[in-house]
Structure 1
Amino acid sequence: MKEIKIPELAESITEGTIAEWLVKKGDKIEKGDPVVELETDKVNVEVNSDYAGVITEIVSEEGDDVEVGDIIAKLDENGEASGDSASEEETSKEESKEDKKEDKKEDKKEDKEEEIIEDKDESPKKEEKKESNETSKGDVIASPAARKRARELNIDLSSVNPRDPLGRVRPEDVEAAAKGESEEKSSKPAKKEEKKESAKTEFDKPVERVKMSRRRQTIAKRLVEVQHEAAMLTTFNEVDLTNVMKLRSERKEKFIEKHGVKLGFMSFFTKAVVGALKEFPLLNAEIQGKELVLKKFYDIGIAVSTDDGLVVPVVRDADRLDFAGVEREIGNLGKKARDNNLALDDLSGGSFTITNGGTFGSMLSTPILNAPQVGILGMHNIQKRAMVMPDDSIEVRPMMYLALSYDHRIVDGKEAVQFLVRVKQLLEDPYDLLLEG
């Protein structure tokens, strides 16, 4: 019998949730066949079998949380598919039925023996109880009418509180005791029901409870951790995109013919960020213990929204790619994210992140850092606004607010502001940027 375990997935991933079983008990599989889809913090991955054989047991069900090394299924290398397992199940079912019948017979026999023993044992106890009750009743001072009423209502006289100063129990005392006992009995179930109802309902109106996906749980956890650990600040500026839009309009047809991809906004922003990072390297760093790690590479994360939450695939070596290469890579990663086909390598690393809330209509926001990175650029919606030009004339220009969130533990305010100004300058004069790119 072999065991299928959760393998080592990646350095930062130690657990996941079983999203879907791709096989069932009794299925015959070959070595390397995918058996289960696992939902991790970052992506869904398939777990393959290291052995060939027949699945004899599914240990973990869909929705279960599992860790690296956990056994999720068992496999018989010499087993036969479905048929044998089905006949074995039938045999075991028949055997269990016979066992149950025998157990029932034994249980009935034992029950009868216990009843006989209990009857023998209880008779002296009943006599003792009767005597003790009579004794306690005899010690109580009560009128004959009170004793008669107590017998009728099955009330123990020793439990009655007399109102007579001399302690004599009267019929009205017995009536009061009987009334109090019945009220107590009727109130107990009501209290239980009330408690049960309050435990069930936390809201006065209908609600729906939906279990958070592992990815959403991780996003929530990490966003809170970043705000607790980093000294996060945000600085803002605005950029005039007139020249970018003009350049895109002039080159878009030839660009598509030559490269097979559209010339979008993201390549301009990616290239502008890389240029600014080269001038302000602390925004391309991270803290490790008591050291600053200054990265000499430019792997730019591009935030992508999916149905399962935000993911940040990474454009590797963005400084070495031309505009077409950046656009092509962003397009490929975006499609993989939406199709839920991202690999762990697509998400690992990254030195700086760009997020574009403008695609959803956002005018202004304060993006949260993608730890352990120390900088993230937020793009927003493009709006035409009346702007005062250097010669005091007023023109309508396509403007965008930019937001840079940064970790103040590494980056000072002056450096953050200058970085954002440099991004603005590169975008407002994109011809050089395009040529250099």
Structure 2
Amino acid sequence: MAEIKVPELAESITEGTIAKWLKQPGESVDKGEFIVELETDKVNVEVISEEAGVIQELLAAEGDTVEVGQVIAVVGEGSGAPAAQPAATAPKAEEASAAPAPQQAAAETTEHTSSDRTIASPAARKLAREKGIDLAAVSPVDPMGRVRAQDVAAHSSSPKAPAAPPAPAKAAAPVEDGRETRERMTRRRQTIAKRLLEVRQSTAMLTTFNEIDMTAVMELRSRKKDEFYDKNDVRLGFMSFFTKAVVAALKKYPYVNSEIDGDDIILKHYFDIGIAVSTEGGLVVPIVRDADRKNFAEIESTIGELAGKARDNKLTIADMSGGSFTITNGGVFGSLLSTPILNGTQVGILGMHTIQKRPIAVGDKVEIRPMMYVALSYDHRVIDGKDSVGFLKMVKELIENPEDLLLGS
């Protein structure tokens, strides 16, 4: 027998949530094969089996919170035939004495069928197995539909009804009554909500705005995009221009590239730029390390790789740890103007928005130009208005004169 435990995840992460079991009891598993996906505050982690064998028991259900070091499954020796499979063939007469007792057989069948789809605590599953109770027939008190040990106990002691109603089998989140639907936040969404609230409560956040004439950078990108792609096998987007502009502005205004630690200000002499990426599970911010040392192609390639990993839920803790400044682009969703919220302990975040043609004054004439509103949210405890306005103005000037970025990279 071998125990599958929740591995060490990261220094700041002590627990996770069972997102999905990739193996079920009775199924064979190879050494090093993934058997469960854990959802943590930052990323999803797939846990492997250290031994080859057969899954004997799952000690936590999907949706359960588990701690680092906790045993969540047991792997034992065996051929790997699914536990429910023998029921498909009737035993021979001479083998009847070796067949499991009816109550035991029912418990085994239940464990691998409807019970597997019921959200229940490990204690509830254990008690249900001992009593031969189908978890799908238990009516949970929890409004989210999770069956607990006391529900199983109450079910076993209650008078037997002619037939158990099938509805509780579908009582897993989301719960719907026709007028409303209640669903539990994912662990990541809970963490996002908690941290955003902490930022609003623990910082003196302000936002300053400006607008950028995107004409020059769009024309440059149009002229160079085919040549750029042929040479670097990656497309030239706007993010590399903004990343380069941000790095240049951070060098001129170093307090925007800092954080507060108690009564100290930590000035960072590196430029690890977080790029916010939207996923089905929420916003994540992977880091482009040492952006000041990367050229346009390297920045675009790194952003593309990180975005792909984010969409495939393959980001690691290392991909998102640290970061000295963040860029978020609400323009991809059509946002015209917004106030971005600071990311963690960082004191600055740049918000990009959709490009919209608007009439503006150019000299003494009015012209239609592609314009983008940009926003800098900053912690006023560290950054004064002069630096925040100067930082954003420098980003604007560099994007409006992109040749300066190319020459400086």
TM-score calculated relative to the size of structure 1: 0.71
1:222 paired with 2:195, answer: yes
Q: Distance in 2 between matches of 1:222 and 1:54?
A: 41
Q: How does 1:37-116 map to 2 (within 5 A)?
A: 37-76=37-76, 79-82=77-80, 93-94=100-101
Deviation at 1:394, TM superposition (A): 2.0
Give the Cα separation in 2 of the matches to 1:254 and 1:83: 57
Offset from partner CA, 1:87-106 (integer Å, 9 cap, x none): 999969428679xxxxxxxx
Q: Distance in 2 between matches of 1:357 and 1:95?
A: 60
Give, in whole Å, the separation in 2 of the partners of 1:235 and 1:213: 33
The one of 380, 387, 411 equivalent to 2:360 is 387
2:321 to 319, 323, 348: 348
In the other structure, the counterpart of 1:375 is 348
CA 1:84–1:402: 2 relative to 1, 3 Å: closer
User: What is the CA–CA distance in structure 2 between the aligned matches of 1:242 and 1:21, rounded to whole Å?
Assistant: 51
Distance 2:231 2:285 in 1: 28
C-alpha distance in structure 2 between counterparts of 1:324 and 1:223, whole Å = 33
User: Partner residue of 2:300?
Assistant: 327
Which piece of structure 1 moves more, 281-290 or 367-376? 281-290
Q: How far apart in 1 are the matches of 2:235 and 2:10?
A: 34
Q: State how far apart, in whole Å, the 2-side matches of 1:46 and 1:204 are.
A: 35
Whole-angstrom CA distance in 1 between matches of 2:104 and 2:229: 72
Matching of residue 18 in structure 1 with residue 25 in structure 2:
no
2:209 partner SS: strand
Q: How far did 1:81 drift?
A: 2.9
- Is the alpha carbon distance of 1:299 and 1:94 closer, same or farther for their aligned partners in structure 2, counting shifts above 3 Å? same
Change (3 A) 1:387 1:405: same
2:357 partner SS: strand
Q: Secondary structure at the match of 1:406?
A: strand
Cα distance, 1:31 vs. partner?
Answer: 2.8
Percentage of pairs with the same residue = 61
Counterpart of 1:371, as a letter, is G
In the TM superposition, residue 385 of structure 1 has moved relative to its aligned partner by 1.7
1:46–1:204 CA distance, 2 compared to 1 (3 A): closer
Which one has the bigger helix percentage? Answer: 1
With 220-229 and 67-76 compared, the bigger mean Cα shift is at: 67-76
Cα deviations by residue, 1:382-419 (Å, 9 ceiling, x for unpaired): 11222222x32222221111100011121112111111
Determine whether 1:402 maps to 2:374. Answer: yes
* Residue identity in the other structure for 1:234: T
How much has 1:55 moved relative to structure 2? Answer: 2.4
1:430 and 1:52, CA in 2 relative to 1: closer, same or farther beyond 3 A?
A: same
Deviation at 1:266, TM superposition (A): 0.7
CA separation of 1:305/1:84 partners in 2, compared to 1, >3 Å: closer, same or farther?
Answer: closer
**How far apart are 1:288 and its partner, in Å?**
1.9
**Alignment pair present for 1:310 and 2:283:** yes
In structure 1, C-alpha distance between the alignment counterparts of 2:320 and 2:376, rounded to whole Å? 22
Shift of 1:32: 2.0
> Following TM superposition, by how much is the alpha carbon of 1:2 offset from its aligned partner in structure 2, in angstroms?
2.8
Whole-angstrom CA distance in 1 between matches of 2:408 and 2:370: 24
Superposition TM-score, scaled by structure 2 size: 0.76
- Name stretches of at least 5 consecutive residues in structure 1 with no aligned partner: 99-202
* 8 Å contact kept, 2:25–2:82: no
Deviation string 1:236-288 (CA, Å, 9 cap, x unpaired) is: 11111111111112211211111112211111100000000011111111122
Q: Partner residue of 1:290?
A: 263
- Alpha-carbon deviations, 1:131-160, whole Å to 9, x = none? xxxxxxxxxxxxxxxxxxxxxxxxxxxxxx
* 1:348-371 alpha-carbon deviations (Å, 9 max, x no partner): 111111011111111110000111
Instruction: Flag the 1:357–1:85 CA change in 2: closer, same or farther, 3 A.
Output: closer
